[in-house]
Amino acid sequence: MSNIPLKITNVGKVFDKKKRVISDINFNVNKGEVFGLIGLNGVGKTTLIKVILDLLQATEGGVEIFGVNSKKFESRKKLAYLPEKFVPSQLLKGNEFLNLSLGYYDKKLDIKKAEAGADKLGLDPKVLTSRVGKYSKGMSQKLGLLGTFLTEAPLLILDEPMSGLDPRARVQLKDYLLEYRGKDRTIFFSSHILSDIDEICDRVGVIHGGGLKFIGTPKEMKQQFGDEILERAFLNCIDGKKTVAKKPVVAKKAVVKKKAPAKKTATKKAAPKKAAPKKAKKS
């Protein structure tokens, strides 16, 4: 069995025998890395993820998960997946959903571990005893993420995991992802939030126009496509621009010139008035 968590070879997908979405996709995701897949809406990110999971049949090529063909059921025993539009059953309580999810991995819910994980994601552990129908969108997303983390699967595949999360929750999720990766596990996810990609990903892949336009580290992408800001480097990549990396423009502080002290002008003293001559008294 191979040590490579995810191997994608010459994958292509055509819908209705005429609409090609992706073609000739080739890359590996290495053990112990966080890999980010980025691209505009509708370019095939979710299609590729569904092909990886065998939810869609590839028109060409194939996928291996830890050396096992993804078409075989056993290939999915070592991965956990969270879809983009995750909606848990509204009738279940939070802990019931977690117990159901873990059952697919022959695991039992450890409530203390679940509460600790919920706290890491900014989800109040008390809500695990409430029905999911009372959850907000962000709470539902955190519950799905929690269920995924608790599987302790060697490979996580997450489609837009930051969806529905506020800035604080995004920071908490990034910390959790890095902690999870630190245990020699692998994370493959897609995201539109490139600042998050830049912060936590070891490597990124850019998918555009049906193909893979770039694969490498965020730093290499910024150098190759001429900008220190990943979002702008990404746009240069999909627009076919390759330039020398520009340094970010830093606004200069306005220099306030000090006024020179006013020169003292010499003032002439008024000459003392001469006393009028006294008239001589007549004797």
Query: pLDDT tens digit string along 225-259?
Result: 999 999 999 999 999 876 655 554 444 554 555 55
Tens digit of pLDDT for each residue in 3-43? Answer: 899 999 999 999 988 899 999 999 999 999 999 999 998 89
Determine the pLDDT at residue 251: 47
Whether 72 is covered by a domain: the verdict is yes
Question: Any idea what the CATH number is for the domain that residue 72 is in?
Answer: 3.40.50.300
Confidence check: pLDDT of 123 > 50: yes
- Arithmetic mean of pLDDT over the chain: 88
240 part of a folded domain: no
Q: What is the mean pLDDT of residues 199-222?
A: 96
Considering the domain boundaries, does residue 64 fall inside one?
Answer: yes
- Tell me if 226 is assigned to some domain: no
Q: For 164-182, write each residue's pLDDT tens digit.
A: 899 999 999 999 999 999 9
Amino acid 246: pLDDT:
52
**Within a domain: 57:** yes
Q: Is residue 139 part of a domain?
A: yes
**Total structural domains in the chain?**
1
* pLDDT confidence band for 264 (50 / 70 / 90): low
Range of the domain at 111: 6-216
Position 274 pLDDT exceeds 60? no
Whether the predicted pLDDT of 281 surpasses 60: no
* 199 domain residue, yes or no: yes
Provide mean pLDDT across the span 94-122. 96
Assigned domain for 202 exists = yes
Predicted confidence band of residue 282 (pLDDT cuts 50, 70, 90): very low
Count of other CB atoms within 10 angstroms of residue 244: 8
Confidence (pLDDT) at 2: 78
Confidence at residue 263, expressed as pLDDT on a 0 to 100 scale: 55
Confidence of residue 283 (pLDDT cuts 50, 70, 90): very low
